[in-house]
Structure 1
Amino acid sequence: MAFTKGAGPHQRGLTIGVDIGGTKVAAGVVTPAGRVLARVRTETPHKSKSPKVVEDTIAGVVEELRRDYTVGAVGVGAAGFVDDQRATVLFAPHLAWRNEPLRDALKARLDLPVVVENDANAAAWAEMCAGAGRNADDVIVVNLGTGIGGAVVIGGVLRRGRHGLGGEFGHMTIVPDGHRCECGNRGCWEQYASGNALTREARELTQAESPVARGLAQAVGGDPALITGPLVTELAQKGDRACAELLEDAGTWLGIGLANLAAAFDPELFIIGGGVSEAGDLLLEPARKAFRRTLTGRGYRPEAEIVAAALGNEAGLIGAADLARDALPRWRQGRRQRRLSRSRESRRAF
């Protein structure tokens, strides 16, 4: 049953999380335990060159959810670089945001506290609190969607870097002079292991009229433009060999990138989320194989485990909603105590 307006925005700790990706905007009313009570989803107006249009979309989904629920704050997970104040989207490769003061703009429109966070950081926080990383302290989360987002959790704390821009793993250069990326560089990791990369490769294979792509061509009536990442995954799961090979290629690139991250961070766990991860072991087994083959010092060091995310596509909005509770004084104090307790437990383990 929906809570009525006037029920007291802080008594139940309800917040709204908004997850903005390259293709969709998903929002939900979330409890402190991470349960999503109501959801709204719409397409991202990615073709618009006006940041105001995206802002209107966010405000619209929040207002729709507020009709039936009283909430205390809004958290926005944005696909882009977010400053250290969690207020401004400095750059978004797939959207029109450039130094966009999103927090203040939404706060003025909604009359609610607003926290803006990188979408991968938000998803990582959800997985740490209630998902696949809840029993770990040192975790790297990699989200495979339109591009590749990432996040670093060390000692149970989300590490954002000095300027708030850490975790942009998708823009590591792994193929010098490789495919052009929307960020402006060439050879970025996300050009080889993301949803966009999977779709591009499937379309090129079909356009080449390769006989191995017959199943793909039939599925889209001969129009490669209709091929999507989810379609490739669906056909692979049904036994289409070409689609399985495309996922194997993406998984191999994923494993190579993870080995690089292991050399830099030495985590105990990698969590793989995002839409592409729904391929499961068709993607993760090649990734594990490539990871072991590429890992520095292989055979002489512990290997991080590679697992699928547990919260699915809702991780971003759940994490954004939870991070928004930092804007509520009584939740802020409780969070400090929980983090201190967890830190003490981690130190006792050594």
Structure 2
Amino acid sequence: MVFPWIGPMVTVGVDVGGTSVRAGVVDKYGEVLDTARAPTPGDERALEDTIVTVVSELAARHRVRAAGLAVAGFVANDRRSVMFAPHLAWRHAPVADRIAERVGVPVVLEHDANAAALAEYRFGAARGCRVAVLVAIGTGIGAGLLLDGKVFRGANGVAPELGHLRLVPDGRPCSCGKAGCWERYCSGTALAATAIELMGRHPGQSTVLARVAGDEGSITGRRVAGAARDGDVVAQRAMAELARWLGEGLSMVADIYDPEVIVIAGGVSQSAPLFLDDAREHYRSMITGAGYRPLARIRTAQLGDDAGLVGAASLARDVVAVRPHPSR
């Protein structure tokens, strides 16, 4: 016979992304004990049904006290509602209260990059650092800033939007409405765009990417990284361009925040051996006062894809500590 309520009390973190909803049971040490996953629906009600389903599935097997949602969107400062999410259905939606009513435990929201930053501070690459910045490089760029272990959200809960710092005047158009944003030159999407541009300028030099270039959408950031590992000259130049823009952007971040550590997270960070050393060199040369000031340590995230849900679960544990929930 199974006794699901025997064992330590835990919290659930849910990473609500544009393509999938990933949930995990997390203990007080940041260890993920169990997981559940489902595709992300496009409809608001269906999305909340999916979140309730994955949380309930885990609560059937564990003594869950609270849940945290890491959301790819603007979360209000009270962490109760989602103001806007570009790849999700919510618009000024009181998500936390609606989900809490259905799952029967307290629920807290957080921006996904903030949640990942908190997880890396408590359990990973930024542990114990007084000022830490996380830069999550994936389809775009997300970012989180921690000051003395506390997430800095700005006046309205939307800081810091580092991916939309304008690095290149009149550069590539961005979905935010501006042009030349950092994420248009330093992301998985940017890596693919750079490779395609370079193939047009240097026809015949690609040995790997050229084989799939005729298939629309076939050149992705992941494929470019793989081609670079296989020695494709164009792909390697594209990686060098990403390293350059990463280093330049990080120098701006360091000039603004003067952090002890910058943690590089997100899907692109899995290819860090291909670009991170070069990015560090660009960063060192571009920072204001180069050679006369301490430099932030630049590290890759230790928690990988689990950082967002671990951070959300950790925030949920904080909520329980302040407002204990009755035992079932």
Give how far 1:97 is off. 2.7
Please give the per-residue CA displacement for 1:83-135, whole angstroms capped at 9, x wherever unaligned: 10011111223333321221122112222211100000000011001101114
> What are structure 1's unaligned runs of at least 5 residues?
333-350
Partner SS, residue 86 of structure 2? coil
**1:284 aligned partner:** 276
Task: Summarize the alignment of residues 257-276 of structure 1 with structure 2, pairs less than 5 Å apart.
Answer: 257-276=249-268
Write the distance in 2 (CA, Å) between the matches of 1:243 and 1:108.
Answer: 50
The aligned length equals 324
Please point out which of 175, 179, 183 is paired with 1:182: 175
TM-score between the two structures when normalised by the length of structure 2 = 0.90
Please point out which of 293, 305, 318 is paired with 2:285: 293
**2:14 aligned partner:** 18
Conserved 8 A contact 2:199-2:234: no
Please give the per-residue CA displacement for 1:256-300, whole angstroms capped at 9, x wherever unaligned: 111111111111111101100111131212211221121111122
Conserved 8 A contact 1:13-1:32: no
**1:72 aligned partner:** 65
Matched AA of 2:236:
A
Please point out which of 134, 138, 158 is paired with 1:141: 134
Query: Is the counterpart of residue 37 in structure 1 residue 33 in structure 2?
Result: yes
Query: Is the counterpart of residue 324 in structure 1 residue 323 in structure 2?
Result: no
Task: Summarize the alignment of residues 1-350 of structure 1 with structure 2, pairs less than 5 Å apart.
Answer: 4-7=3-6, 12-45=8-41, 48=42, 50-205=43-198, 210-218=203-211, 220=212, 222-329=214-321
Write the distance in 2 (CA, Å) between the matches of 1:29 and 1:163.
Answer: 30
Query: Larger deviation: 235-244 or 208-217?
Result: 208-217
Write the distance in 2 (CA, Å) between the matches of 1:239 and 1:135.
Answer: 39
Write the distance in 1 (CA, Å) between the matches of 2:44 and 2:189.
Answer: 23
Greater fraction helix: 1
Write the distance in 2 (CA, Å) between the matches of 1:331 and 1:132.
Answer: 29
Label 1:148 to 1:3 Cα distance change in 2 as closer, same or farther (>3 A).
farther
Give how far 1:26 is off. 1.9
Query: Larger deviation: 57-66 or 23-32?
Result: 57-66
Query: Larger deviation: 190-199 or 26-35?
Result: 190-199
Conserved 8 A contact 1:4-1:69: no
Please give the per-residue CA displacement for 1:35-78, whole angstroms capped at 9, x wherever unaligned: 11112234434xx3x33333233223222322322211111111
CA RMSD of aligned residues (A): 2.3
Matched AA of 2:119:
A
Write the distance in 2 (CA, Å) between the matches of 1:177 and 1:95.
Answer: 29
Conserved 8 A contact 1:106-1:114: yes
